[in-house]
Structure 1
């Protein structure tokens, strides 16, 4: 008999140890699963935080686009446009110094904002057409939204994934509304329906 060789203390130890090992063995997959869920939740929270910060930068660029069109037609003062341009630039620069590293695609899109320097100079000199303002700002904003990768990161089978996807769609809708507002401003200021 296996237990016959052990004293009472040894027998008690075996009687307690075997079920305890069984509980640990059965709990291990659950603990690993919970750790994976926590990692996914942290990843989603990091993505949402980054999307919020990028969304703020995109909103500043969109507002600059609208004010630029307004400036072109004398509806906005130069200091107001310059301040907005500085705020947009600050927001973009703040994306570079985040604690969370940017993806290569998002980093390239943020660096791409430098292309607006010549556009901004043309706007201040009033030597650019309003449709070019809209298209050049859009060519910078859209890659930033795409660089977030919210559509590919969203797991649409979960509630959280659907919310992440909705956030992406909200960013895109806001950008389209800003584009339309800029084009409508051009059409109203010039009374030219062909600009719509």
Structure 2
């Protein structure tokens, strides 16, 4: 099977945020959708290795900021290439707080949605959170960024110089180096080292 077929499914891109006590955190996700209109419910899938995942399991609440086509690669690096366990991802990020007290981005996003978890489904590497929508606001009329738009317009083009490293066969992320650690997880799509191949 050609795993690149999965890239043909249309995905949005979102910054998922949560709050536990005084700690704010967020991560990039590409799975968020409305699943019912009455009641108004959404579903998100979050990798269990993300700190934000654990915060949502504990608190039962989250926000999603819907990234638009003005999003910069730095935003993806900030929320996708490091862990909130040992860094403050909200430093130098413009945000407000919704009524649930959780942050949402005010730049590079066209809307945000607040939600309260009503059930979860264990998906192995991820948890599917099904949640009631509690709030939301449109922030701009900019088109939403899709995964395809990210690859074509936001992600920096690969250098033409030969590199030593490994490429994720799912999303195209490149790990530079002679050896890929066995426990490496792709910072973009969260797939394991087994989904990488040498450049």
TM-score range, shorter chain: under 0.3
TM-score (normalizing by structure 1): 0.24
Larger radius of gyration: 1
